[in-house]
Amino acid sequence: MHLDFAPMEGVTSYLYRQVHAACFPGVDRYFSPFIAPDGSGRFKGAALRDVLPENNRDLNVIPQVLCNSAEAFLTVSRELGAMGYEELNLNVGCPSATVVPKHKGAGMLADLRSLDAFLAEVFSRCTLKVSVKTRMGLQSTAEFPAVLEIYNRYPLSELIIHARDRVGMYKSVPDLEAFAAAFPQCRAPVSYNGNVVGKDSFEKVMSTNPGLERMMLGRGVVTDPALFRLLRGGAAMTDDELRDFLNRLRSAFLAAGLGEHFTLSRLKEVWYYTIWKFPDSGRMLKAVNKSRRLDEYEAAVSALFASGLYRQDAVFRG
């Protein structure tokens, strides 16, 4: 089974990826949080730093791009190609209210003719491999047969299907029935994405899709950084492993020159997911979130690990 780490804006930066790979090796590919270029295809700042080869040594990273302009996409592809990348991923899945009205991300599904024209232009000129990460529809997963008809016209290196529509955001139950119906009809290699957070949800997807060989996980892995190891038959993550991972993550942020405030903000983003490993610890989580200095944060985290509330089998349920 080919297992990939999904891109998560604000969480899975290159610093996170470096620490995760050092502590929990075995991820087949990391997908970068999306690059959103301007109308000319330019991108800089954090988006550029995140994909610089020197920041991703020994990692198999696929950059993801969020845009609805073929010219901008092609400009990004040329810059990434010059860096040594051989593949990039098109985001047709982001459900954010700040993205969709601009006809980007899942918003591209509102106009299938435009999506078709975009892909035609990209695949006629792009020299890199291109994969797509998509929702199954804008309003309903029942839209997917028409969407898939377009995807099947092009030589996608991979089609990553998030088994929800845009309306479902990240709260609705993935439509496994719709995914199972679509899977055999896809011409490109298919990867499943959507709410796989532990062994039970993993096995449920696999049992209904014989022949599925690829899967992308996101929130479940941020909750349990050793989840890929667990799904491959390895040991569950111990609380000591989790504490070491979080300590290394804090150190990596600081060593990269990030200030205390920014470091705390990023650590709190991670704790939004990590806290699910500590059931019934709401008051202690408040102490983490209210911390304004790293010493306050460390005291709150130490109290959590000393509480005895850590559960190896707990999974993300947000």
The residues pairing with 90 across neighbouring beta strands, listed in sequence order, are 65, 132
Give the structural domain span for 291. 239-306
CATH number reported for the structural domain that contains residue 182 in this entry: 3.20.20.70
pLDDT for the residue numbered 39: 86
The answer to whether position 202 is within a domain reads no
Tell me the average pLDDT across 79-87.
Answer: 98
Structure tokens at 117: 């024209």
Separation between Cα atoms, residue 57 and residue 42, nearest integer Å = 23
Pair 278, 284: CB distance under 8 Å: yes
- Tens of pLDDT, residues 50-80: 999 999 999 999 999 999 999 999 999 999 9
- Tens of pLDDT, residues 175-212: 999 999 999 999 999 999 999 999 999 999 999 999 99
Residue given tokens 């051989």 in the structure block: 86
pLDDT for the residue numbered 270: 97
For the entire predicted model, the pTM comes to 0.97
- Tens of pLDDT, residues 249-271: 999 999 999 999 999 999 999 99
The answer to whether position 67 is within a domain reads yes
Residue given tokens 């349920």 in the structure block: 317
> How many Å separate Cα 268 from the centre of its chain?
18
**Do 169 and 84 share a structural domain?**
yes
**Do 245 and 189 share a structural domain?**
no
- Residue 40 reports pLDDT greater than 90: no
Q: What is the DSSP letter of 312?
A: T
Environment class of residue 317 by beta-carbon count within 10 Å: exposed (0-12), middle (13-18) or buried (19+)? Answer: exposed
Separation between Cα atoms, residue 215 and residue 206, nearest integer Å = 10
Pair 297, 265: CB distance under 8 Å: no
Pair 106, 100: CB distance under 8 Å: yes
Tell me the average pLDDT across 101-128.
Answer: 98
**Do 246 and 191 share a structural domain?**
no
Q: Where does the pLDDT of residue 306 fall: very low under 50, low under 70, confident under 90, or very high at 90 and above?
A: very high
- Residue 125 reports pLDDT greater than 90: yes
SS3 label, residue 166? coil
Give the amino acid at 204: K
- Residue 282 reports pLDDT greater than 90: no
pLDDT for the residue numbered 318: 80
- Asked which of 160, 195, 230 is the last residue of a domain, the reply is 195
- Tens of pLDDT, residues 156-179: 999 999 999 999 999 999 999 999
Separation between Cα atoms, residue 258 and residue 286, nearest integer Å = 23
Environment class of residue 276 by beta-carbon count within 10 Å: exposed (0-12), middle (13-18) or buried (19+)? Answer: buried
- Residue 105 reports pLDDT greater than 90: yes
Domains contained in the chain, number: 2
